[in-house]
Chains A and B, each alone.
Chain A
């Protein structure tokens, strides 16, 4: 049974390709988009890397990635007018469906967990379950809202465009992580850290990993970028290699990074945007309020990682 798992997983990537392809085609046809040709190219190239990833030679995908990067660099990706419905339509939906409107989202999480625990697809069950649950939850939402098919397609397109190129960042960072690993960045960082942190002390390793996550996040303003670098350089050699549970360590390292996000002006969306939105007088008012809380949560996470992972 587990041998069809990888094939089913490949099918979910084809579905992602279809979703991105729809956005590409609709961008091309959307005359209200000021850069519709480059926008369409961006999404269509991405769609190809997903749908045909298994059959394309890797170097071709590499070329496509460079082209996608160039389109992003040239600020070629814009959004035209998107179908959000009128406020009256949305209010009517809320009146009709009430809190049942949350059901599809709840079903998504429930089905994903259920499938991954029960499904006999071996290692790919976890990722595969997301694909299956997404399709099932969309079906539930469609049945409940009784939306015309055109609206369903338009909504998928809208959210992909609103999430935008930045939504692809985690995958670019994961790719960068692989390049870092094969180039030996992890070893160089850990050699540098080895002078400061004793190599056989789990507690010192946990502290170094969490501090590294928070500091790197403060500098670049992005926990995801920090995770790629710091996990290869500190997390693996100083924590996981000493016997730390990768699941616990990975999960807590990410949230330790969030404590850095709470105190850095580099994370503009979270700390500077509200200052502007709420017309605050002090530019760092939000950061100042968050700092003590971030410090408390950080210390708790270091302790939790140390006691739970070992």
Chain B
């Protein structure tokens, strides 16, 4: 192979830099400079290339313009109202509750509402409500308690990931548009968001099936019992249960 393999230095820098958790923006800039250098550009040419590439891709950061509206909505109770809505889902089984949360999270994604779901929803609402729903229908073993936590995080991740590409001003959508544009294939954010909708629906269906199976697993986990307040603080000494 010829020396042109050297241009992969940028890819190597990205991988190593991200693995070592160095400052990501600096890593990307260094990768760009190194790649341009080994491809034979002079330093002034590199500055020119970087400046033009940055300016041509400003549309990728257009989502910033949506932030004041979201921030203002938050300041006047957006999250508090979301909690009110989620609390109405009380009577569901754990799996059905998680399915509903996944779909709600996808919808907020499609409408560009940026919430850091793990901190603001999963820890204070989703996990406690799932655990309470599980405790309503059967004895919850320590192994299942662990699974309920994992499934709560999963519902957030699936809803978040597969919802966001349905929003025209999502940074991921704008990056797809910017990248394809730079490579000579002009597409619009609306087209990308629209083409993402089928996968959003499929992800919701697959998640629903997954949570339905989870409900069945939980029900097999213990005998039905009358509602008793759960005691999440009960310590359990088993470290890792094997399965």
Beta-carbon contact of B198 and A304 below 8 Å: yes
Q: Identify 20 residue pairs between A and B in the complex whose beta-carbon atoms are under 8 Å apart, listed by A's number.
A: A20-B64, A53-B55, A101-B76, A102-B78, A104-B69, A105-B73, A130-B62, A130-B65, A156-B71, A163-B67, A168-B25, A179-B49, A182-B49, A183-B35, A246-B187, A254-B176, A255-B165, A266-B18, A281-B240, A286-B157
Beta-carbon contact of A90 and B68 below 8 Å: no
Taken residue by residue from 202 to 231, chain A's Cβ proximity to chain B (1 for < 8 Å, 0 otherwise) reads as 000000000000000001111111011101
Stretch at the interface among B9-17, B89-97, B132-140: B9-17
Which of B7, B54, B62 is A131 in contact with, Cβ under 8 Å? B62
Given the interface pairs A12-B65, A63-B47, A126-B168, the reply to whether A247 lies near B29 with Cβ below 8 Å is no
Which of B154, B183, B192 is A181 in contact with, Cβ under 8 Å? B183
Residues in chain A near residue B77, CB distance under 8 A: 90-97, 101
Beta-carbon contact of B176 and A178 below 8 Å: no
Residues in chain B near residue A16, CB distance under 8 A: 58, 61-62, 64-65
Residues in chain B near residue A173, CB distance under 8 A: 28, 175
Decide if B103 is an interface residue (CB 8 Å cutoff).
no
Given the interface pairs A102-B111, A170-B61, A174-B57, the reply to whether A112 lies near B75 with Cβ below 8 Å is no
Give the A-binding residues of B (Cβ under 8 A).
4-5, 7-8, 10-11, 14-15, 18-19, 23-26, 28-32, 35-36, 38-39, 44, 46-81, 84-85, 108, 110-114, 118-119, 122-123, 127, 146-147, 149-154, 156-158, 160-162, 165, 167-169, 171-172, 174-180, 182-183, 185-192, 195-196, 198-199, 202-203, 206-207, 210, 239-240
Beta-carbon contact of A225 and B199 below 8 Å: no
Closest B residue to A145 by beta carbon equals B76
Decide if A159 is an interface residue (CB 8 Å cutoff).
yes
User: How distant is the Cα of A18 from the Cα of B57 in the complex, in angstroms?
Assistant: 18
Beta-carbon contact of B28 and A250 below 8 Å: no
The SS class assigned to the A binding surface is: helix
The SS class assigned to the B binding surface is: helix
Beta-carbon contact of A61 and B55 below 8 Å: yes
Decide if A65 is an interface residue (CB 8 Å cutoff).
yes
Decide if A200 is an interface residue (CB 8 Å cutoff).
no
User: How distant is the Cα of A278 from the Cα of B182 in the complex, in angstroms?
Assistant: 42
User: How distant is the Cα of A179 from the Cα of B79 in the complex, in angstroms?
Assistant: 41
Taken residue by residue from 23 to 66, chain A's Cβ proximity to chain B (1 for < 8 Å, 0 otherwise) reads as 00000000000000000000000000110011011111111111
Taken residue by residue from 262 to 301, chain A's Cβ proximity to chain B (1 for < 8 Å, 0 otherwise) reads as 1000100111011101101110011011101100110011
Given the interface pairs A175-B53, A281-B240, the reply to whether A130 lies near B169 with Cβ below 8 Å is yes
Residues in chain B near residue A64, CB distance under 8 A: 51
Residues in chain A near residue B190, CB distance under 8 A: 112-113, 116-117, 126, 129
Nearest CB in chain B: distance from A310 CB, A:
14
Beta-carbon contact of B169 and A72 below 8 Å: no
Beta-carbon contact of B151 and A289 below 8 Å: yes
User: How distant is the Cα of A180 from the Cα of B225 in the complex, in angstroms?
Assistant: 61
User: How distant is the Cα of A70 from the Cα of B26 in the complex, in angstroms?
Assistant: 7
Beta-carbon contact of A19 and B18 below 8 Å: no
Beta-carbon contact of A262 and B157 below 8 Å: yes
Given the interface pairs A58-B55, A231-B179, the reply to whether A72 lies near B26 with Cβ below 8 Å is yes
Beta-carbon contact of B39 and A49 below 8 Å: no
Given the interface pairs A13-B58, A16-B61, A72-B23, the reply to whether A220 lies near B75 with Cβ below 8 Å is no
Residues in chain B near residue A108, CB distance under 8 A: 66, 69, 111-112, 169
Residues in chain B near residue A84, CB distance under 8 A: 74-75
Residues in chain B near residue A69, CB distance under 8 A: 25-26, 28-30
Residues in chain B near residue A262, CB distance under 8 A: 157-158, 161
User: How distant is the Cα of A125 from the Cα of B177 in the complex, in angstroms?
Assistant: 13
Nearest CB in chain B: distance from A30 CB, A:
16
Q: List the 10 shortest-distance A-B pairs measured between CB atoms, nearest first.
A: A94-B77, A62-B47, A126-B188, A93-B76, A61-B51, A156-B68, A93-B77, A62-B51, A274-B153, A58-B51
Decide if A165 is an interface residue (CB 8 Å cutoff).
yes
Beta-carbon contact of A159 and B71 below 8 Å: yes
Which of B14, B26, B167, B191 is A229 in contact with, Cβ under 8 Å? B14
Beta-carbon contact of B203 and A297 below 8 Å: yes
Beta-carbon contact of B167 and A183 below 8 Å: no
Which of A20, A94, A117, A280 is B80 in contact with, Cβ under 8 Å? A94
Given the interface pairs A278-B149, A280-B150, the reply to whether A155 lies near B75 with Cβ below 8 Å is yes
Beta-carbon contact of A109 and B8 below 8 Å: no
User: How distant is the Cα of A107 from the Cα of B125 in the complex, in angstroms?
Assistant: 27
Beta-carbon contact of B65 and A175 below 8 Å: no
Which of A65, A152, A281 is B54 in contact with, Cβ under 8 Å? A65
Listed residue (A96, A258, A278) with the most chain B CB atoms within 10 angstroms of its CB:
A278
